[in-house]
Amino acid sequence: MNHARIQSTGSYLPDSVMENAELEARVDTTDAWIRERTGIARRHIAAPEQTCSDLAQHAALNAIAAAGLQADDIDCLIVATSTPDQVFPSTACRLIERLNIPSGAIAFDVAAACSGFVYALDIAHRFIQTGGAKRALVIGAEVFSRILDWSDRSTCVLFGDGAGAVILEAAPSAGILSTHLHADGRQEPLLNVPWGISQGYENLDGGRGNVSMRGNEVFRVAVRTLGALVDETLAANDLQRGDVDWLVPHQANIRIMSATARQLGLPLERMVSTVEDHGNTSAASIPLALDCAVRDGRIQRGELLLLEAFGAGFTWGSALIRY
């Protein structure tokens, strides 16, 4: 089996920033409530003409430049998203031409909601392990502003738009040490967008195309599930609490993230947090956070990273990485 390591990272955030104060004017909420309950102060919102692939393209070019590569060095492209450009072709396929990736590469989208990036990373890793690919571009990209009910204060204050990318390459020693993916659809009503193409456009009414969440119940399941996931990841690698250098969590809520850091035995300075400035960008949040901490010099080569996510499905997953 081959090994894989992260060669480079990249990210992109749309220019427009929506502060909590702007939401105070739209729904019955306050900046103080949003900050205290979620840790969010602002989020980026895509311009009306920007789609998922536009955000993904910027993040990808950023990662390709950071690696000093040409696009024709990439033979596998996976996009994790719940807000793709079109029903088909996949967002990944649409990016092939725009990024100038050679014809014949592997390209597809992954739908696992907020856990999508960890799922996509795991899949890319397996392609490299088995020799099916040499260098994979793995992107998380979302335009959640398009699936929010902007009159629903329980959801519209939480999410933002953005994209993050990593390039994974075959390597002589292991960068990705282990991945752990799980799903259970039994509690689907707690968090969903209760409409999709096969339900027919005639049934797309009354906000059925928007995020619906029973936040408090999701919160409790998320904290419990992520605690067990962290224990599973440490045990699989013979590690103790405190052995990990950085937690790079899905950025849903600062209180959920902090609970996971405590479970890991990590001080909060060792948790990468972008939730204040980005909100929850679903599948984009982990690669966005990773890229921030790589570029500002916090995360150094050789350090041990734990990536984890929990989201609709429910889906959840982690990756332990020697960076």
Give the interface with ligand UT7 as residue ranges (CB under 6 A). 29, 33-34, 37-38, 114, 153-154, 157, 215-216, 218-219, 222, 252-253, 256, 280, 310-311
CB 299 within 8 A of CB 290: yes
Which member of 114, 125, 210, 253 is catalytic?
114
Nearer to ligand UT7, 37 or 295 (CB): 37
Nearer to ligand UT7, 29 or 237 (CB): 29
Detail the DSSP E strand segments found in 172-207: 176-183, 191-192
Residue of minimal CB distance from ligand UT7?
A: 215
Residue with tokens 């209180």: 255
Closest to 284 in 3D by CA, of 163, 131, 150, 126? 163
Helices (H) and strands (E) in the chain, counts: 10, 13
Which member of 250, 253, 278, 292 is catalytic?
250
Strands 212-213 and 106-110, sheet pairing:
unpaired
In whole angstroms, the minimum distance from the beta carbon of 113 to ligand UT7 comes to 7
In whole angstroms, the minimum distance from the beta carbon of 221 to ligand UT7 comes to 8
In whole angstroms, the minimum distance from the beta carbon of 29 to ligand UT7 comes to 3
Nearer to ligand UT7, 4 or 275 (CB): 275
Closest to 247 in 3D by CA, of 309, 312, 296? 309
Backbone angles phi, psi at 201, to 5 degrees: -65, -25
In whole angstroms, the minimum distance from the beta carbon of 84 to ligand UT7 comes to 18
Active site residue 114: yes
Which residues are bridge partners to 271 per DSSP?
A: 247
Nearer to ligand UT7, 176 or 309 (CB): 309
Catalytic residues: 114, 250, 280
